[in-house]
Amino acid sequence: MLNFFDRSHRQILNLNDFDPVARSFLPRAIYGYVAGGADDGATVQHNLEALSRLKMIPRVLRDVSTCSQQITLFGRRYNSPFMIAPMGASAVVGRDADNAMARAAKNAGIPYALSANAITPMEEIGRSYPGCWFAGYQKPDTENIDAMLGRVEGAGFSAYMLTADVAVGSNRENNNRNGYTMPFRPTARLVADMACHPSWLLKVGLGTYRQRGIPRISNIDPQARPSIFSREINAVTGYPSFSWKHAEFIRSRWKGAFIIKGVLSADDARIAKELGADGIVVSNHGGRQLDCAVSPVEVLSEIRNASGTMTVLVDSGFRRGTDIVKALALGADAVMIGRPFLYAAALGGEAYIRHAIGLLQREIHTDMCLMGATDCDALREERVVGL
């Protein structure tokens, strides 16, 4: 197994390279859960195509010897303009993946957000990375909101990110085809799938069981922590009656940075600004919610103009340093990246995540210098064409 991972490490030269290695390592059901999108997966592909269409106009003969990719978000200085996005069930994909991603992000000086759908308790992550962010799926109940915010604050998180684009669960046909279900059902087909991937089964499947017993969704509620086999998890994310009034209630109770994730409309950005949100994430959930939604880069400039002084983050399909540079040029303050870091966690834990972060940091430095930009703010003055 060690030789397999050593060879894999040498093959990985950019974030896209993690995908095929992870595909061979992970059971088909687990890989499909991470890689897939809603319905036909059109939005997953469109995110990549929209970024590919964008082209940059570089400037030359500028002194870039002091080029810096540092940024400031919510009063805190970070080393790079990207972060590890929240991803549910990460520790089922890679052993102790949430802690590994949190530690790697902390050591690299970039933000990290924990998903409410994680099986790792938020209190653990708060110790691994004090002051990191929490991404919640919140029930439309004021008592529950108060209790949940109290738990998040007590765990030491500095920012609360409200996941706003999951009024109902999406249609994930690919999960059904691959045998991945929630609640988890160990069918003969799934057991055979896992048995055909013994490295994952020993390293992740059995390793996670030894560490935590039967995995539980640990952060969706102040107290209840249903197991992945429980029918309770059928309704742990989508709350159709959740509305702006509940977001406003969160804003009134939460004293740290408040971020609303899943904005694709300039009108929604204006509403978020008016209720006092500190930031938004322009996102189509990586293509995992509404299929055929616009790509965030197609509406980013318009949303930036409507957002005033709010921090504007963006995600969905970003993989290369050039992708990050394009997002900053279109008005984003930073970019959230998910799947490649989860693949890295599954393949080699914290060491592989550090490798992934370093690869992207080097790309960004090279691309900023070639654009003639000495810092991230300077990129906003540069032109991107192709929208």
Query: Would you say 250 and 160 are in contact if contact means Cβ atoms under 8 Å apart?
Result: yes
Can the peptide bond before residue 340 be classed as cis, meaning omega within 30 degrees of 0?
no
CA 144, CA 246: separation in Å to the nearest integer? 11
CA 308, CA 360: separation in Å to the nearest integer? 29
Question: Which tokens in the block code for residue 306?
Answer: 């409507």
Measured in degrees and rounded to the nearest 5, phi and psi for residue 72 equal -125, 125
CA 117, CA 86: separation in Å to the nearest integer? 9
Q: Which of 9, 246, 285, 365 is catalytic?
A: 285
Measured in degrees and rounded to the nearest 5, phi and psi for residue 178 equal -90, -5
Query: Would you say 133 and 108 are in contact if contact means Cβ atoms under 8 Å apart?
Result: no
Can the peptide bond before residue 130 be classed as cis, meaning omega within 30 degrees of 0?
no
Q: How far is CA 99 from CA 13, 102, 138, 216, 355, in A?
A: 24, 5, 23, 15, 16
Q: Is residue 285 annotated as a catalytic residue, yes or no? A: yes
134, burial (CB in 10 Å: exposed 0-12, middle 13-18, buried 19+): buried
Report the run of H or E that residue 78 belongs to, with start and end. Answer: strand 76-78
Q: Catalogue the E-assigned strands of the chain.
A: 55-57, 71-73, 76-78, 82-84, 113-115, 133-136, 159-163, 257-263, 279-282, 311-314, 334-337, 383-385
**Where on the phi/psi map is residue 337: left (φ > 0), alpha (ψ -120 to 50), or beta?**
beta
Question: Which tokens in the block code for residue 287?
Answer: 């293509």
Question: Which tokens in the block code for residue 70?
Answer: 């540092």
- Active site residue ranges: 285
